[in-house]
Amino acid sequence: MISTQEFIEVTKDQDVLKAFGPQHLERLAELAEEVEFHRDQIIFREGDRHGLFYLILDGGVGLEIMTARHAVTLQTLHAGDAMAWSSLLNESGGAHFQARALTPTRALAFDGAKLRQTCDADPAFGYRMMRALLSLVTERLDVTRMQLLDMYATPGAMRA
């Protein structure tokens, strides 16, 4: 666990936390654990039930999907980004992507079950968290959509 003041300082650039008040940031600080990943480390694999939600503090992480031949990077995340939103929904669902550290990466990890309990115990906190997650999911869908459009675009077709 890190102190509330340190948590507020290291997460000031986290878009996902912009709507959270000081009392909510204090609750999050109580649940946060700092973690580090080395370059090329697989943080979690597609389908894993790892149960952790992450806020990236520095470094870079590639979100990948697995094809029959190799991993395809859909999005690169950096400081200020969040990942593993599925861990907040329920314990039975697995990760939708594989996450690989592209550089040495430092993040805050949150136990998904404890975060869900906090959301249930404090509806105002839970509402802010679910809004933040919906925004995150929408962003991931948009990025995936753009990747699919690029993959299946007609060669030589003009793009607007």
In a domain, 159, yes or no: no
Residue 92 lies in a domain: yes
Average pLDDT taken over every residue of the chain: 86
- Structural domain of residue 41, as residue ranges? 4-147
pLDDT at residue 8 is higher than 90: no
Contacts for 88 with CB less than 8 Å, ≥ 6 apart: 53, 112, 115, 116, 119, 129, 133
| pTM for the model | 0.85
Q: What is the per-residue pLDDT for 71?
A: 85
Chain segment 49-76, per-residue pLDDT in tens = 888 999 999 999 999 988 888 888 888 9
Domain count, the chain: 1
User: What is the CATH classification number for the domain harbouring 25?
Assistant: 2.60.120.10
What lies within 8 Å, CB to CB, of 102 at 6+ separation is 39, 40, 59, 60, 61, 62, 76
In a domain, 13, yes or no: yes
DSSP for residue 16:
G
Confidence of residue 39 (pLDDT cuts 50, 70, 90): very high
- Does any domain span residue 152? no
Is there a contact between 41 and 106 (Cβ–Cβ < 8 Å)? no
Provide DSSP, 86-98: GGGT-SSPPPSSE
